[in-house]
Amino acid sequence: MGTGAAALLLAMPSLAPAAVKTTACDGTLAPGTYGRVVVPAGASCFSVGPVRIRTGLFVRSGATFVLGDEEHPGNNGTIGGGVHATNAASVQIHFATINGGMSIHGGSGPFGPPFDVTWNTIEDSHINGAVTIAGYNGFWMGFIRNVVHGSVNLNDTCSKIRTATNTSPTRSTAA
């Protein structure tokens, strides 16, 4: 290759995708924009939002993730790249938009930190993509007042389950 071609290659901006920055959350997730968020095994991550997660939320074994609560309605943020949890203690998301669906598999049993009992609750959110919650064995699980653009599969979950969802673009509530 000649010096002219080498100079042209050096002058061109890189076409390689930028590396996704991963944030490990153990404690408070401050309002802001993040690449990928990972809650490490056994950790607890709390946020009142608003947050924007661009390339996925991953909740590891025995970990807890809480975004917002039902007593403070509003836009708590957007999670792109979906929500992924395996054997998490608790996944609690309120008043958020989730792009890329949800995949929550297993749990860590009905009792444990940080609340002494474990539960999943996905409430008042807009979910674009399929939702699968399978094998959850926590104390309680709620999937309430969500608008889902995709399939919803709740399989082999704990006995204390409450759902109210609508898979059409309009919102409704049923018990």
Does the pLDDT at position 129 exceed 90?
Answer: yes
Please indicate, yes or no, if residue 172 is contained in any of the structural domains: no
Domain count, the chain: 1
Please indicate, yes or no, if residue 171 is contained in any of the structural domains: no
Q: Which of 16, 93, 8, 111 is nearest to 53 (CA)?
A: 93
Please indicate, yes or no, if residue 11 is contained in any of the structural domains: no
- Give the pLDDT band of residue 116 (cuts 50, 70, 90): confident
Question: What is the pTM for the complete model shown?
Answer: 0.81
All residues at 6 or more sequence positions from 66 whose CB lies less than 8 Å from its CB, including other chains = 44, 45, 46, 47, 90, 92
Decide: 62 and 87 in contact? Cβ < 8 Å: yes
**Average pLDDT for 8-16:** 50
Distance between CA atoms of 40 and 26, rounded to whole angstroms?
7
Domain containing residue 60:
21-166
Please indicate, yes or no, if residue 13 is contained in any of the structural domains: no
Say what the pLDDT of residue 83 is: 98
pLDDT tens digits along 36-60: 999 999 999 999 999 999 999 999 9
Does the pLDDT at position 16 exceed 60?
Answer: no
Tell me which of 27 and 167 has the higher pLDDT.
27
Tell me which of 7 and 154 has the higher pLDDT.
154
